[in-house]
Amino acid sequence: MKIGIIGLGLIGGSMAIDLKRRGFADSLTGVEADSVNAAAAQKIGLVDRVVSIEECVRECELIVLAVPVGSAVRMLPEILDMFRAEENTVGVCRKTVLDVCSTKEQLAKTVHYHPMRTHYVATHPMAGTEYSGPWAAMSGLFDGRACIICDQEESAPSSVHLAEKLYGCLNMRMIYMNSAGHDVHTAYVSHISHITSFALALTVLDKEKNEKHIFDLASGGFSSTVRLAKSNADMWVPIFSQNRENLLKVIDTYMEKMSAFRAAIDGFDEDGIRTLIEDANRIKRIIR
Amino acid sequence: MKIGIIGLGLIGGSMAIDLKRRGFADSLTGVEADSVNAAAAQKIGLVDRVVSIEECVRECELIVLAVPVGSAVRMLPEILDMFRAEENTVGVCRKTVLDVCSTKEQLAKTVHYHPMRTHYVATHPMAGTEYSGPWAAMSGLFDGRACIICDQEESAPSSVHLAEKLYGCLNMRMIYMNSAGHDVHTAYVSHISHITSFALALTVLDKEKNEKHIFDLASGGFSSTVRLAKSNADMWVPIFSQNRENLLKVIDTYMEKMSAFRAAIDGFDEDGIRTLIEDANRIKRIIR
């Protein structure tokens, strides 16, 4: 199958590697707006060719939109417009486009009434690292992780099936929910983690003017807790922005929990600290 | 050398394994107040014998106090009292005791005027996992990590040298600072990370009544950020309690950073969100 990948960063690049290696893609065409990243992707050999978005959509049967969600909201209707033009010219369009973004509701609203809506599948492969760009792409990134497919009843069954085959090749488990539910859940199990990591990094950087000491004393615990603070602004600004309402609620709950810790420590309340810790320990049942 | 380890949990047990395996300890005597842990430590073979604290102090040249810091504050003067009794009886005591606790200032104050103070070395091997108990003990836990030695001028040079040899055998890098400085630094690079993880766990557990979804959707990022929330209350309650003043300052700075994120997201201020993220990204220079 001819696959086009728009955006050759960590996610698009990692997909390219395994879709080619595992025989799902006969040919891989890439689109990359950033000239440095485009040159790197070609040098690394992530895709066969880097072309314009028009050429990519014209040539490929399945298009993966792997750009930050701010750009995806702009580009997805343009791609569906190209599908429409093809249908108007040739009489039929059998193409599918899927996105891989971390927020879903705004994208869903943007194309809800588009005449080619059924050609789009909203997906979120829940995998990543704190690194970005084509040089961060790696084989096996998606293996064993969860992939969420949103609003599947709004997509053509054949397009959903194609998306499932693609993620099956990447060894992902499929989960189905609607866009609104997706955005609530990811606010809690992904987006808030990034904000707490960024805030932790800012706190420590603010205090520790002697950076040597941070490095010397940083335990494994600190490193794992602050790891996500290396994450890329281009990706996360639009996510926080688009998931604003859910995130504000999560942040408020989180601040209440921090305040409870502060009050217990401030009040010499060792029983109170113990209760908070033991309640938090229940996470053991859920996260290995 | 005859080594005694009081407290056969993650830290004491892991030390036991490598001190024996690497030939530093000719014999290893353990003390463990919890009968289940004591039986487990013997079954696993962490130490040669489990004895009373009196017998351990009488028999061993070097005693490692590896109990939660609340217990250490009580037990350290008792051990120094036993050293004193030996000196009074035999005429000389050449024994050394070191602790491995995560807060140092209160311990330092507790024994500051003790006549046997020079026999005590305040140390903090900065290694651990989120697990506890003798079954969590593992070889290699300390390899390559930092060990802080506090207030070394208050210890006899021979005792400091012995502590350095022990941590050298565990492949640790030594860092020297005073107790007060230690407690400020660890508040920033270790203790606050635990509080933010506990708060994150409480936030998600509070919201997600359907636990299946947390498990399904938890990305690697969430798991690493929340990992420390599995940590043991017996260890962390006294740490938070003893490092109260430093922690309150760190929590306040941290809450300011969270509030800055909240305000930027609430105010649709994408430039503000970007600035916060890019400032936080400076942590890349420090943490690999």
CB contact under 8 A, A207 and B240: no
- At residue A130, the pLDDT reads 85
Q: Where are the alpha helices (DSSP H) in A22-154?
A: 35-44, 53-59, 69-90, 105-111
**CA B288 – CA B279 distance, rounded (Å):** 17
- Asked if residues B243 and B74 have their Cβ atoms less than 8 Å apart, the reply is no
Beta partners for A177?
A150
C-alpha to C-alpha distances, A162 to A7, A11, A57, A151, A268, nearest whole angstrom: 20, 18, 16, 15, 59
CB under 8 A, 24+ apart: contacts of A178-181:
A178/A150, A178/A151, A179/A104, A179/A105, A179/A107, A179/A108, A179/A122, A179/A150, A179/A151, A180/A105
For B198, which residue in chain A has the nearest alpha carbon?
A280
- Asked if residues A75 and A52 have their Cβ atoms less than 8 Å apart, the reply is no
Query: Using the 8-state DSSP alphabet, how is residue A91 labeled?
Result: S
Element (H, E) at A115: none
- At residue A125, the pLDDT reads 96
CB contact set of B190 (below 8 Å; sequence gap of 6+) = A217, A219, A221, A222, B102, B126
Write out chain A residues lying below 8 Å of B199, CB-based: 196, 254, 257-258, 261, 280
Whole-prediction pTM: 0.90
| Candidates A192, A278, A284; nearest CB to B200 | A192
Element (H, E) at B29: strand B27-31
Top-confidence residue, B59 or B215: B59
- At residue A221, the pLDDT reads 83
Q: Does A279 touch chain B (CB under 8 A)?
A: yes
Confidence of residue B288 (pLDDT cuts 50, 70, 90): low
Question: How many A/B residue pairs have CB atoms within 8 Å?
Answer: 315
Phi and psi (nearest 5°) for A212?
A: -50, -40
CB contact set of B283 (below 8 Å; sequence gap of 6+) = A201, A204, A205, A226, A229, A230
pLDDT in tens, B180-196: 999 999 999 899 999 99
CB contact under 8 A, A278 and B233: yes
- At residue A230, the pLDDT reads 93
Beta partners for B150?
B122, B177
**CA B262 – CA A253 distance, rounded (Å):** 12
Average pLDDT per 10 consecutive residues for chain A, totaling 288 residues? 97 97 96 95 94 97 97 98 97 97 96 98 93 94 95 98 98 95 92 95 82 68 90 94 96 97 97 97 83
For B192, which residue in chain A has the nearest alpha carbon?
A200
Beta partners for B63?
B4, B97
Confidence of residue B212 (pLDDT cuts 50, 70, 90): low
The DSSP string of A147-173 is EEEE-GGGS-HHHHHHHHHHHHHTTPE
Query: Whose structure tokens read 């689109």?
Result: A31
Q: Does B210 touch chain A (CB under 8 A)?
A: no
- At residue B129, the pLDDT reads 87
pLDDT in tens, B219-267: 778 888 999 999 999 999 999 999 999 999 999 999 999 999 999 999 9
- Asked if residues B155 and B118 have their Cβ atoms less than 8 Å apart, the reply is yes
What is chain B's mean pLDDT, rounded?
Answer: 94
Query: Using the 8-state DSSP alphabet, how is residue B151 labeled?
Result: -
Write out chain A residues lying below 8 Å of B229, CB-based: 280-281, 283
- At residue A218, the pLDDT reads 74
